[in-house]
Amino acid sequence: MNTENAEWLNHLKEAVPTEGYGNKLSMYLIALEAWRRGIKVNFFTIDNPENKVLIRYSLEYEGKKHYFESSLGDKLSPEAFDVCEYKDLTKKYLADAGIKVPKGRVFRTSSNEEEYLSFAESLNFPVVVKPVDGNAGTGVFSNLNSEEELLDVINHLRDEMNYKNVIIEEFIPGDEFRVLTVDGKLTGAVNRIPANITGNGKDSIKTLIKRKNRTKLKNPSLSKKRIMIDREVKQNIEKNGYTLDSVLDAGKQLFLRRNSNVSTGGDPVEVTDDLPDKLKEIAEKATQAIPGLTVAGLDLIVNPENDEPTVIEVNTKPGIWLHVYPAEGKPKDVVRPIVDLYFPETKDVERSNLYFDFDSKIEPLDNITVYEVQVHPLKHTGIYRTKKFIVKLEYSSPILTTEIRLEALRLGIHGYVKKLNPTQYQVIAAGENDEVLMKLKNFISSEVKGFGVSDVEELEWFKPVNTGFIIEKESIKEISEKLRKKERENKALQSKYQDTEENLWDEKEKNTNYLSQLEYIQSQLNELEEEKEALTIKVGESERARISSENSLSTKIQNLETEYATLWKKYKNTVNSKSWRITKPLRKHNILNKKGISSRKSKKLK
């Protein structure tokens, strides 16, 4: 479902206030269409035993007056109302006219379990169970496949939902449609898709349901038709093998309900232009089978194998918003034919492009401060000329908005002025002609007034404009949205801050670890440096000792060599001397004597 880029009908763009969303939308759409044609609208409350605020309205034109409850008007015959009020009677009227309806039977409080089960078996499971007097799809349970499921649902309807009389009927498989007829003619049709979600591979089923509901908020017809996580939804999730916390695969579609009612979260897809002729004929024939059925919503199921339609229900107060604001498909203007039916004399009246403030009309009724509010018809119907002015100021002007409003009212101009920022304003203006709009523009631009206007940009405006002229302030919704946006931004910043803080702590811890490691490595380096210095000292000392030793030995060797050379020189001088040669015989004799003496000594010793 994509409502983000939805193309609504031009005459309704931005014309539906939030107070008109949901159940009051049919009432507002019909009242607005009538008022734009010059018809007088009157909203009022009625008394009721439960003391609830029940708002009704009337439309009046040239002495003719009609009363409405939502889309149900007083042209509906009492017979048609009674026939459609009771589902079993509705089926009888349709069956008599040759319209196919599901087989079924009403069971009252006096019925017992054996009767339920016996009838369900005669139909063959699966079956459908719903209250006799239910509406908007409330209490409808379809495709029940077992006796246990059947009894469980009946007990739930009676004990917890306080429905006493129920219908058990055959289950008709196929595609479900809601067809709108006005005065016996088909004006719109939607294919109703049961409440569903589509997985993205990341989010849980519970999250996907919340997200789907958020997209519905942007659609006036679906904003209050959200998917509630109730008994049926939980059971369907479990039957498909999931829990609310399960994550669906990307593209996987999960149907959360068996029935396709939009009021319980279903999606309406507009298909009027593609509807088979056979289906149109059956719908119109069914409407005509009930006398005085002026405006009706028919629920049909079409068998995909043979395209045969079966009429399931007929509603006398249909939600026309389904066709005006579908979840998908081209919107249909089904409101015009309804007003044409009640006030045919206004068919050719050109619809105004103004709209009235529904919120301000309904609020006094909701607060029970008044019992009736009138919306007087426009003096001038038809299309008003519309312009958008962007007013730029040289400086902020506290009186500008008030002065613009007073001048616009004096000139009979509708619209609003809104402050965009301290020096920029937006004016939306709707007048009977261009001349009156230019008067307003000239008034704003006037230097005499002293507004400090530097420029007025003129643009075309094609959307509807509110009646009267107001100073538009930020709505509670806009302020709330801004607040939520700021809260989201703050939350994101806080999360970012926490992440950054955690990262800084992580970095700090890492840096502390790095510093510890660096300190350890530095201490190791210092120790190694000290050892190096010690070794260097030792090596130096050893080297010096070695060098000293070498020097000492070298000196000794040199001294010995010098002494040897001196002695050798003395020896050579002695040997070569004359005296040495002369005494040679004597030295020889002495040597021999020494040898003899030594010999005798050795003998004596022996």
388 exposure class (CB count in 10 Å sphere: 0-12, 13-18, 19+): middle
Q: How far apart are CA 468 and CA 486, in angstroms?
A: 33
pLDDT digits over 401-432, tens only?
999 999 999 999 999 999 998 899 999 999 99
Q: How does pLDDT run across 237-268, given as a tens digit for each residue?
A: 999 999 999 999 999 999 998 778 888 899 99
> How much is the mean pLDDT over the chain?
83
Q: Tell me the backbone φ, ψ of residue 546, rounded to 5 degrees.
A: -65, -45
Q: Average of pLDDT values for 60-69?
A: 95
CA distance 74 to 373: 20
Is 208 in a helix, a strand, or coil? helix
Binning pLDDT at 50, 70 and 90, where does residue 598 land? very low
Asked if omega into 126 is within 30° of 0 (cis), the reply is: yes
Residues 6+ away with beta carbon under 8 Å from 253: 196, 197, 198, 199
Counting beta carbons within 10 angstroms of the beta carbon of residue 195, is it exposed (0 to 12), middle (13 to 18) or buried (19 or more)?
Answer: buried
Rounded distance between C-alpha atoms, residue 227 and residue 197, angstroms: 10
pLDDT at 450 over 70: yes
Phi, psi values for residue 270, rounded to 5°: -70, 125
Rg (CA), the chain: 53
Report whether pLDDT(293) > 90.
yes
Length of the chain in residues, anyone?
Answer: 606
Collapsed DSSP state (helix, strand, coil) of residue 178: strand
Dihedral angle, C-alpha 143, 147, 150, 155, nearest 10 °: -160
pLDDT tens per residue across span 501-545: 667 676 666 666 766 776 777 777 777 777 767 766 665 666 566
Report residue 90 as tokens. Answer: 């509705």
pLDDT on residue 412: 93
Percent of residues in the chain assigned helix, strand, coil, to nearest 5: 45, 20, 35
Report the topology of domain 103-171: Dna Ligase; domain 1 (3.30.1490)
Q: Give the tokens for residue 94.
A: 């349709």
- CA–CA separation, 74 vs 342, rounded Å? 9
Q: What's the topology of domain 76-101+173-194+259-318? A: D-amino Acid Aminotransferase; Chain A, domain 1 (3.30.470)
Contacts of 407 (CB under 8 A, 6+ apart): 440, 443
340/295 Cα distance (integer angstroms): 12
pLDDT per residue as tens digits for the range 167-226: 888 988 888 999 999 999 999 999 999 999 999 999 999 999 999 999 888 888 888 889
Other CB atoms within 10 Å distance of the CB of residue 141: 23
Alpha carbon distance 334, 316 (integer Å): 15
CA–CA separation, 73 and 526 (whole Å): 100
Tokens 């006096």 belong to residue: 110
Residue type, 23: N
The encoded tokens of residue 28 equal 């507002």
Tally: H helices and E strands in the chain: 16, 23
Least confident of 150-154, 267-271, 349-353, 429-433: 150-154
Distance CA 544, CA 107 (A): 123
Q: Please measure the distance between the N-terminal and C-terminal CA atoms of the chain and give it in whole angstroms.
A: 142
CA 215/CA 219 separation, integer angstroms:
8
**pLDDT 10s digits, 119-144:** 888 888 888 888 876 665 567 888 88
The answer to whether the beta carbons of residues 384 and 430 sit under 8 Å apart is yes
Which SS3 state, helix, strand or coil, does residue 446 take? coil
Q: Is the pLDDT assigned to residue 54 strictly greater than 80? A: yes
Question: Residue 589 — pLDDT band, cuts 50, 70, 90?
Answer: low
Tell which wins on pLDDT, 50 or 63: 63
Which residues, in sequence order, are CB contacts of 244 under 8 Å at separation 6+? 204, 205, 206, 229, 234, 237
How far are the Cα atoms of 20, 41, 139, 381, 502 from residue 36, in angstroms, in the given order?
A: 16, 10, 38, 7, 62
β-strands 385-393, 424-431 pairing: antiparallel
3-class secondary structure, 300: strand
* pLDDT, tens digit, 9 for 90 and up, residues 362-396: 888 887 778 899 998 888 888 999 999 999 998 88
How many Cβ atoms from other residues are within 10 Å of residue 536's Cβ?
Answer: 11
Cα distances (angstroms) measured from residue 396 to each of 146, 407, 421, 454, 472 = 73, 19, 9, 11, 17
Crossing angle for the helix pair 78-85 and 87-96, to the nearest 10 degrees: 110
The residue among 302, 316, 315, 310 whose CA lies nearest residue 274 is 302
> Whole-angstrom Cα distance, residue 42 to residue 35?
10
Domain edges within the chain: 10-71+349-375, 76-101+173-194+259-318, 103-171, 200-258, 385-473, 474-562, 576-606
In which region does residue 102 sit, left (phi positive, over 0), alpha (psi from -120 to 50) or beta (all else)? beta
Q: Cα(147)–Cα(127) distance, rounded to whole angstroms? A: 10
Task: Measure the CA dihedral 518/519/522/524, to 10°.
Answer: -110
Residue with the two structure tokens 């040239």: 62
Instruction: Give the pair of three-digit tokens for residue 448.
Output: 């005499």
Listed in sequence order, the residues at least 6 apart from 165 whose beta carbon sits closer than 8 Å to its beta carbon are 106, 107, 108, 109, 131, 132, 133
> What is the domain class of 385-473 according to CATH?
alpha beta
Whole-number Å distance between alpha carbons of 431 and 499:
56
Between the CA of residue 206 and those of 209, 247, 253, what are the distances in Å? 5, 9, 14
230 CB-side CA count, 13 A: 15
> Beta-carbon neighbour count of residue 29 at 10 Å?
27
Phi, psi of 258 (to 5 degrees): -90, -30
Residue 606 has pLDDT above 50, yes or no: no
Instruction: Say if residue 440's pLDDT is above 80.
Output: yes
Distance between CA atoms of residues 602 and 606, nearest Å: 6
**Minimum mean pLDDT range among 22-26, 49-53, 107-111, 460-464:** 49-53
